[in-house]
Every structure is written in structure tokens, then in C-alpha cells.
Amino acid sequence: MPERIYNFSPGPATLPYEVLQQAAKDVVNYRGKGIGLIEMSHRSKDFIAITDEAERLLRELLAIPANYKVLFLQGGASLQFAMVPMNLLGPGKTASYLNTGVWAKKAIKEAKLFGNVQVAYTSEATKFDHVPKDGDYQVDHAAEYLYYVSNNTIYGTEFPGTPKSDKPLVCDMSSDILSRPFDIAPFGLVFAGVQKNMGPAGCTVVIIRGDLLDRTPESVPTMLRYKTHADNGSMFNTPPCFAIYCIGEVLKWLKGLGGLTAIEKMNQEKAALLYQAIDATDFYRGHARPGSRSLMNVTFNLPTPELEAKFIAEATAAGLDGLKGHRSVGGCRASIYNAFPKDGVAKLVEFMREFEKKNR
């Protein structure tokens, strides 16, 4: 492998090196067919096979039954903030939302354009340093769905499990999908921008229960209706071909590692290394409360903003890139998605110890 830096970016993020190598070959000449992957018609036999395989692997790894549709869409996870209420919430109807950070707030803002929103819980008063437990909130009895963000990329908080509710769950899993197993049954809809755990930017995966496809009001435009894409196998229009191809390659890699149970164990080990380093000293302070800590994004502060800037600059120079916290919260954030190597986490821990010794 050529010299590579450790990329702690929150997304687009580190991809498996094998996938990058295969993609580099296939972009120029797809499997020796004399045509580059990104030159092929999306209606060609070869590209339809690529899409079918990506969907098949996703269904297999996440154990998605036949009554759910898998869609490969564009517009980013952000378009889902509007598409969800546009399709699932009629005028005068109510949906419940758990406000655990910026991405939830953006979704709440869009939902208000289409119906009533009950914010059943918010952790804003403590800078979104935790996610609620089941007993901490009450969902409106008339709610069409309960919406939450399973992993809050900016704050480094993550729901340790699936919230219990008698309402269909709608979840933004952009930053932790495929990082651990979960049961799809309580979910009406799951979506994820793929640029963190599944591939490059440019595609959003939507998994929607089939019976919800017929709820959409007549007034919703064709491209913004889930049914349009479900009825056309995500090929109503030209899909994000390169991203879909990469998703398939990442899923093959993930299956080869042993699937979600195996990757969960690896993710737990990587995150434990970092949290232990943070907890071992008062020089570093974790942002997320212990019961809400994310396995994907580890957020922490140093004693002063000046030390944080120095830490980030010196880490970058040492080949540890992308550790600056989100502009809205500052501090440091190490994003360690599925494809991020454990060696890189160990290197960061070593760097943290050395930095503390020199700067305490």
C-alpha cells in the first residue's frame, strides 16, 4: 500500500483501500469489457447487475425482508428531511421528533412545512451531549411516526439501541448504518447518506416499508415521491451510478469481514481505545455523556481553544488528518467509521499521550 494518511474526516470518509483500488481499475475499464464504469448506460445489463447486487447485499447484511423497498436516491440525506414529511405526513397530521442535534433540528424545520410537529425531547440545553432513554419522553398519541437520528455525527452521541415505540420509527442513520446489527421491524423508514459508512458522496439509501408508499398526497411532485423510485427500481431517472457501484464493493468487503456482528466488535474495540485514552486524564474531556457515547464519532475537548488548535495542527502534520470538531461546536472529533483502521486509532492515542506530556 502506498503511504496513506489516517483520515478522521466525518464524511466523505475513509473507504476500504481494496475498494478504492478496484474502483480505480473499473472506472477506466470495467472488468475488461473495454468501457469505463462511469461511461456505461444505467440501463445496460452490466449496470443493472451492479445495482441488483448492491441491493441484494444490503438486504442480506441488514436482514431486510421483502416487504421493504430499498431505494438509491440523490439529494443527500438533507433532502430526506423534507421527503419524509412530504410523503408520510398529511396536512393537519402530527409527527414526533427527538431533537438530539443540528441534523434533527433541520428535519424538524422541514416537517413543520407539511404538518404538525411534536418535539418530544430535546437535549439542546446541555449542548446535545446525550440522547434520551425510552422513559424520558412521551410521544403524541396521534403521531404518524417517531423520528430520530441514531448517531449524532457532530456531538458524538449515539442511541445505544432502538427506541421503543408503538409508532413506526423513522430514522436518519447516515453516520452509523452498517456499523452494528439492528432489527428493521419497528421501522417505517430508514435513510442514510452513503458518504460515511457505505461509499462516496452522491447517493442516499432509503429503506421504506411497502405499505407506506401509498400515503403520499397527490400534490407531491413525481421525483419527490418514494413510490416513483420504488416502482422503477431506483431508475426513474439516471441514478448515481458510481456511488451505487461503490456501495456494492463496500458491502462485499463488509461481508468478507464477517458482516455486522464482526464489524460491531471491531468498532467497539476501536472506540474503547479512544474513550479509555480520554478517561485516563483530565487533560482531555469527552463531550458525550458515557451512556450516549458514539462508536463512530468520538468528540473531545482540550483545556483551551488554543491548545485544541495546536493539537489539530500538530496531529495533521503527523499524518492524523480531519480531527477538527464541527464548526458549530469546536473542539476535536475523531470519526472512526467501519473502514477506519485500528492502527490509526492506536496512532492517535499515542499522539494524545505525547501531546499531553509536552503541553500539560
Ligand X SMILES: Cc1ncc(COP(=O)(O)O)c(C=O)c1O
Q: Measured from the CB of residue 151, what is the shortest distance to ligand X in angstroms?
A: 6
Q: In what order do the strands lie in the sheet with 169-172?
A: 68-73, 204-209, 187-193, 169-172, 143-149, 94-99, 116-122
Work out whether strand 320-321 and strand 143-149 pair parallel, antiparallel, or are unpaired: unpaired
SS3 116: strand
172 lies in the site for ligand X, by CB under 6 A: yes
CA distances (Å), origin 96, targets 71, 108, 193, 201, 239? 24, 9, 22, 29, 31
Which member of 22, 74, 78, 118 binds ligand X (CB under 6 A)?
78
Rounded Cα distance between 228 and 297, Å, is 34
Q: Measured from the CB of residue 198, what is the shortest distance to ligand X in angstroms?
A: 12
Using CB atoms within 10 Å of the CB of residue 8, give its burial: 0 to 12 exposed, 13 to 18 middle, 19+ buried.
Answer: buried
162 lies in the site for ligand X, by CB under 6 A: no
76 lies in the site for ligand X, by CB under 6 A: yes
Cell of 18: 481494496
Instruction: Say how many residues touch ligand X, by CB under 6 A.
Output: 11
Choose, from 167, 196, 227, 324, the residue flagged as catalytic. 196
196 a catalytic residue: yes
The residue (of 103 and 128) whose beta carbon lies closer to ligand X is 103
Which member of 6, 72, 97, 103 binds ligand X (CB under 6 A)?
103
Cβ-proximal residues to 270 (8 Å cutoff; 6+ apart), any chain: 295, 336, 340, 342, 345
Q: Measured from the CB of residue 2, what is the shortest distance to ligand X in angstroms?
A: 28
11 lies in the site for ligand X, by CB under 6 A: yes
Cell of 19: 475498494
Site track 238-277 with ligand X (rule: CB under 6 A), x = hit: ----------------------------------------
Q: Measured from the CB of residue 77, what is the shortest distance to ligand X in angstroms?
A: 3
Rounded Cα distance between 2 and 112, Å, is 49
332 lies in the site for ligand X, by CB under 6 A: no
Rounded Cα distance between 4 and 282, Å, is 32
Ranges within 13-52 binding ligand X (CB under 6 A):
none
Cell of 166: 408503538
The residue (of 296 and 302) whose beta carbon lies closer to ligand X is 296
Phi, psi angle pair for 329, to nearest 5° = -125, -15
Which member of 77, 117, 171, 288 binds ligand X (CB under 6 A)?
77
Q: Measured from the CB of residue 11, what is the shortest distance to ligand X in angstroms?
A: 5
Site track 130-159 with ligand X (rule: CB under 6 A), x = hit: -------------------x---x------
Stretch that binds ligand X, among 1-9, 124-132, 171-179, 219-227 (CB under 6 A): 171-179
Choose, from 26, 69, 129, 172, the residue flagged as catalytic. 172
Rounded Cα distance between 38 and 47, Å, is 10
Catalytic positions, please?
Answer: 103, 172, 196
Using CB under 6 A as the criterion, which residues of the chain lie in contact with ligand X when the complex forms? 11, 76-78, 103, 149, 153, 172, 174-175, 193
